[in-house]
């Protein structure tokens, strides 16, 4: 609390006294709240306030913390201020959007209930909206995390090196992907010798954040029509051919298959694509920016179709009533229920 008291004196010229509220005085609170936070009484601008310090700021989403604060405001009948040592930029943004009072000593004091917003040492570049799209490898890693249930913490329990081995990327490629997610404030990076990734949101919120900021990319580079399927190449149904797997739409006459770009260019260079063209053919090969097969290895679709999230991204901008209805079903079944 000394750091907080010094911070208030430095920026406001006011001395405050912080008094911890003892657990015996929290008997009327729900047990999960009294166990989750530390509580303090403070007076600021002649106003009595409750200071709320999370024992683990990453244990709850900002939406949940907002609900907790509403309960506490009703119990204490005083404004509540969230106190944190550090916070990721995207979570700070969420707090401001919801009008939640918070203090990060040495960095920011945001008290809308008291009409105070003082920001000091956050880098201006971090506050700018980052509009660049995700790298394909970063999106691949993100979608893998969203779709796979691998026990406690999933990819977060693995080092960068282990993630690279699991996802069949080079260590440099995975490091670049995670750094890109970190740049977009979707993850944090922890560790020294061995580095680990920590996702900034719960799964549904992670997807919503990425989609709202329009940084997710269409995985399809281009479409090439051929008269025969390449021999000995495993491919998944994509486009309208994959929709029956995730919706009640009937398959189209045109058959679509997803193929990873390196494999496609290898086949093309070996002249293994029969009558390849951009107009028509019995089969349409969608050339993908990342390997679609690796994303469905644990999904219940018999390894027949591409994953639902990538499928959604490949079709969401198509203006066709039939496809739009199928897309809504994918959103309902697979996106809105990611958690």
For residue 187, give the CATH number of its domain: 1.10.10.10
The answer on pLDDT for 300 being more than 70 is no
Higher pLDDT, 338 or 308: 308
Q: What b/e readout covers 221-257, taking b as 16+ CB neighbours within 10 angstroms?
A: eeebbbeeebeeeebbbbbbbbbbbbbebeeeeebbb
- Position 126 scores a pLDDT of 43
What is the average per-residue pLDDT within 75-101? 86
| 180 has pLDDT over 80 | yes
Does 29 fall in a domain?
A: yes
Q: How many residues does the chain have?
A: 339
Say yes or no: 120 and 190 in one domain. no
Tell me how far apart the alpha carbons of residues 23 and 26 are, in angstroms, rounded to a whole number: 5
Whether residues 34 and 97 fall in one domain: yes
Residues 115, 168, single domain; the answer is no
End position of a domain, from candidates 185, 212, 239: 212
Q: What is the mean pLDDT of residues 167-184?
A: 94
205-232 tens-digit pLDDT: 899 889 888 999 999 999 999 999 999 9
pLDDT surpasses 90 at 2: no
pLDDT at 317 over 70: yes
Same domain? For 169 and 243 the reply is no
In a domain, 321, yes or no: yes
| H-helix segments, the chain | 2-12, 31-36, 62-76, 89-97, 124-127, 136-147, 160-167, 171-183, 203-212, 239-246, 261-269, 308-315, 321-330
- Mean pLDDT, the chain, rounded, equals 87
User: Which pLDDT belongs to residue 208?
Assistant: 86
pTM of the model as a whole: 0.64
On whether residue 190 sits in a domain, the answer given is yes
pLDDT band at 299; cut points 50, 70, 90: low
C-alpha to C-alpha distance for 114 and 48, rounded to whole angstroms: 11
Residues 99 and 146 in one domain: no
Within-domain flag for 131: no
Q: Confidence class of residue 337 from pLDDT cuts 50, 70 and 90?
A: confident
Q: What is the pLDDT of residue 166?
A: 92
Is residue 150 scored above 70 in pLDDT? no
Domain region containing 202: 136-212
Range with lowest mean pLDDT among 12-21, 72-81, 295-304: 295-304
* pLDDT beyond 50 at 128: no
User: Which pLDDT does position 302 carry in this prediction?
Assistant: 65
pLDDT at 283: 96
Q: Are residues 235 and 151 in the same domain?
A: no
Helix (H, G, I), strand (E, B) or coil at 228: coil
Average pLDDT of span 197-202: 90
Pairing of strands 102-104, 80-83: parallel
Which tens digits make up the pLDDT trace of 228-274? 999 999 999 999 999 999 999 988 899 999 999 999 999 999 999 99
Q: For the chain, give the percent of residues with pLDDT over 90.
A: 54
Q: What is the average per-residue pLDDT within 318-335? A: 90
Domain boundary pick from 164, 195, 212: 212
What are the start-end ranges of the H helices in 202-260? 203-212, 239-246
Q: What pLDDT does 132 receive?
A: 86
Residue 287: count of CB within 10 angstroms of its CB: 19
Residue 124 has pLDDT above 60, yes or no: no
- Count of domains observed in the chain: 3
Positive or negative torsion for Cα 325, 331, 332, 334: positive
Residue-wise pLDDT for 26-79, tens only, equals 988 988 898 889 999 998 878 899 999 998 877 778 888 999 999 999 899 999
Q: Which pLDDT band holds residue 125 (cuts at 50, 70, 90)?
A: very low
């Amino acid at each position: 609390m000394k750091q907080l008291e010094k911070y208030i004196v430095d920026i406001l010229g006011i001395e405050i006294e912080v008094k911890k509220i003892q657990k015996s005085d929290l008997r009327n609170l729900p047990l999960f709240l009294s166990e989750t936070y530390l509580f303090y009484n403070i007076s600021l601008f002649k106003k009595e306030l409750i200071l709320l310090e999370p024992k683990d700021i990453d244990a709850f989403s900002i939406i949940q913390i907002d609900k907790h604060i509403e309960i506490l405001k009703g119990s204490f009948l005083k404004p509540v201020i969230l106190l944190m040592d550090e916070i990721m930029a995207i979570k700070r943004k969420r707090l401001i959007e919801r009008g939640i009072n918070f203090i990060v000593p040495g960095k920011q004091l945001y008290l809308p209930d008291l009409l105070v917003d003082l920001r000091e040492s956050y880098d201006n570049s971090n506050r700018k909206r980052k509009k660049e799209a995700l790298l394909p490898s970063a999106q691949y890693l993100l979608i893998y995390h969203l779709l796979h249930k691998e026990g406690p913490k999933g990819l977060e329990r693995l080092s960068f090196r282990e993630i690279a081995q699991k996802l069949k990327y080079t260590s440099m490629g995975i490091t670049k992907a995670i750094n890109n997610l970190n740049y977009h404030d979707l993850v944090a990076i922890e560790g020294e010798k061995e580095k680990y990734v920590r996702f900034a949101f719960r799964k549904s919120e992670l997807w919503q954040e990425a989609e709202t900021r329009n940084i997710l990319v269409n995985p399809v580079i281009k479409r090439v029509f051929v008269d025969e399927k390449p021999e000995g190449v495993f491919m998944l149904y994509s486009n309208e051919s994959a929709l029956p797997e995730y919706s009640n739409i009937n398959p189209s006459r045109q058959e679509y298959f997803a193929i990873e770009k390196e494999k496609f260019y290898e086949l093309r260079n070996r002249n293994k694509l029969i009558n390849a063209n951009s107009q028509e053919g019995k089969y349409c090969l969608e050339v993908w920016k990342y390997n679609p097969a690796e994303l469905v290895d644990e999904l219940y679709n018999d390894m027949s179709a591409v994953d639902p999230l990538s499928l959604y991204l490949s079709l969401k901008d198509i203006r066709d009533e039939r496809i739009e209805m199928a897309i809504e079903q994918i959103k309902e079944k697979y996106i809105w229920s990611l958690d």
